[in-house]
Chain A
Amino acid sequence: MLSEDEVKEIIASFGGDRRYVMRILQEIQRRVGYLPKENLKMVAELLDVPLAKVYGVATFFHQFRLRPHGRHIVQFCFGTACYVKGNDKLWEWLRRKLGLKPGEDTTADLRFTLQKVRCFGCCSMAPVIKVDGDIYGNMTKEKLEEVLRRYA
Chain B
Amino acid sequence: MLRSPTTSEYEVIERFYRAKDVMFGGHDYRITVGVSTCSMAKGAHLVLKKVEEEVARRGINARVVRVGCNGMCFSENMVEIIDHEGSWAVYAYVTPERVSRMLDGYFSGSSRGVFAFRVKGGSLMDEERVPYIYEIPFYGKQVRRVLRFMGIVNPLSIEEYEALGGYSGLKRALRLTPDEVIDIVIRSKLRGRGGAGFPTGLKWKLVREAKGDVKYLICNADEGDPGAFMNRLTAEGNPHIIIEGMIIAAYAVGASKGFVFVRAEKPLMADMLARAIEQARDKGYLGREILRRDFDFDIEVILSAGAFVCGEETAMIAAIEGAATARGGRCSPTPRPPYPAEKGLFYKPTLVNNVETYAQVAYLFQAGLEDFISVGTENSKGTKVFCLAGSIRYTGAVEVPIGITLRELIFEIGGGVPKGRRFKAVQIGGPSGGCLPKAYIDYPLDYEQLKSLGAIMGSGGIIVIDDKSCIVDVARYFLKFTVTESCGQCTPCRIGLRHMLEIMNRITEGKGTEEDLIRLERLGNVIAKTSLCGLGKTAPNPVLTTLRYFREEYEEHVKQRKCRAGKCMKLRAR
Interface set of A (CB-CB < 8 Å, partner B) = 17-23, 25-26, 47, 49-50, 52-54, 56-57, 60-64, 78-85, 117-126, 128, 135-138
A18 to chain B: closest CB distance in Å? Answer: 5
With contacts A123-B461, A124-B396 known, is A80 near B227, CB below 8 A?
A: yes
Complex: chain B residue closest to A60, CB-CB: B330
* A107–B74 alpha-carbon span in the complex (Å): 35
| B37–A135 CB distance below 8 A | yes
For B474, the chain A residues whose CB sits under 8 A away are: 83-84
* A124–B226 alpha-carbon span in the complex (Å): 12
* A85–B465 alpha-carbon span in the complex (Å): 10
* A25–B329 alpha-carbon span in the complex (Å): 13
| A84–B391 CB distance below 8 A | yes
With contacts A120-B266, A121-B228, A137-B41 known, is A26 near B308, CB below 8 A?
A: no
| A84–B465 CB distance below 8 A | yes
Q: Is B19 an interface residue when CB atoms closer than 8 A count as contact?
A: no
* 6 A-B contact pairs sorted by A residue (CB < 8 Å): A19-B325, A21-B322, A61-B304, A83-B477, A119-B229, A119-B265
A22-B319, A56-B323 known; 9 new pairs, CB 8 Å cut-off, are A56-B324, A57-B323, A60-B331, A61-B306, A80-B390, A80-B478, A81-B389, A119-B265, A121-B223
For B427, the chain A residues whose CB sits under 8 A away are: 80
Interface of B is mostly: mixed
Q: Which 10 A-B pairs have the closest CB atoms?
A: A19-B322, A79-B226, A121-B229, A61-B305, A124-B73, A56-B329, A124-B395, A137-B41, A123-B389, A53-B329
* A142–B238 alpha-carbon span in the complex (Å): 36
Interface set of B (CB-CB < 8 Å, partner A) = 37-38, 40-42, 73-74, 76, 223-229, 232-233, 264-266, 302-308, 319, 321-326, 328-331, 387-391, 395-396, 427, 430, 461, 463, 465, 469, 474, 477-478, 481, 487
Complex: chain B residue closest to A29, CB-CB: B305
* A25–B481 alpha-carbon span in the complex (Å): 25
* A119–B232 alpha-carbon span in the complex (Å): 11
* A83–B226 alpha-carbon span in the complex (Å): 10
| B430–A63 CB distance below 8 A | no
For A128, the chain B residues whose CB sits under 8 A away are: 41
* A81–B308 alpha-carbon span in the complex (Å): 17
Complex: chain B residue closest to A119, CB-CB: B226
A20 to chain B: closest CB distance in Å? Answer: 5
B119 to chain A: closest CB distance in Å? Answer: 22
For B395, the chain A residues whose CB sits under 8 A away are: 123-125
| B226–A118 CB distance below 8 A | yes
Complex: chain A residue closest to B223, CB-CB: A121
For A123, the chain B residues whose CB sits under 8 A away are: 38, 226-229, 387, 389-390, 395, 461, 463
B334 to chain A: closest CB distance in Å? Answer: 16
| B323–A79 CB distance below 8 A | no
| A57–B329 CB distance below 8 A | yes
Complex: chain B residue closest to A59, CB-CB: B330
A63 to chain B: closest CB distance in Å? Answer: 4
* A79–B487 alpha-carbon span in the complex (Å): 19
| A63–B226 CB distance below 8 A | no
For A64, the chain B residues whose CB sits under 8 A away are: 305
* A21–B327 alpha-carbon span in the complex (Å): 13
For B303, the chain A residues whose CB sits under 8 A away are: 23, 26
| A18–B325 CB distance below 8 A | yes
* A76–B168 alpha-carbon span in the complex (Å): 42
| A121–B73 CB distance below 8 A | no
B266 to chain A: closest CB distance in Å? Answer: 6
B231 to chain A: closest CB distance in Å? Answer: 8
With contacts A20-B322, A26-B264 known, is A125 near B226, CB below 8 A?
A: no
* A10–B307 alpha-carbon span in the complex (Å): 23
A109 to chain B: closest CB distance in Å? Answer: 27
For A18, the chain B residues whose CB sits under 8 A away are: 322, 324-325
| B38–A121 CB distance below 8 A | yes
Complex: chain A residue closest to B225, CB-CB: A119
| A122–B323 CB distance below 8 A | no
A24 to chain B: closest CB distance in Å? Answer: 9
For B396, the chain A residues whose CB sits under 8 A away are: 124
| B329–A118 CB distance below 8 A | no
A127 to chain B: closest CB distance in Å? Answer: 10
For A78, the chain B residues whose CB sits under 8 A away are: 226
| B322–A26 CB distance below 8 A | no
Partner of A122, one of B41, B264, B329: B41
A55 to chain B: closest CB distance in Å? Answer: 8
A110 to chain B: closest CB distance in Å? Answer: 24
Complex: chain B residue closest to A116, CB-CB: B484
Complex: chain A residue closest to B224, CB-CB: A118
* A63–B567 alpha-carbon span in the complex (Å): 31
For A63, the chain B residues whose CB sits under 8 A away are: 264-265, 305-306
For B391, the chain A residues whose CB sits under 8 A away are: 84-85
B147 to chain A: closest CB distance in Å? Answer: 15
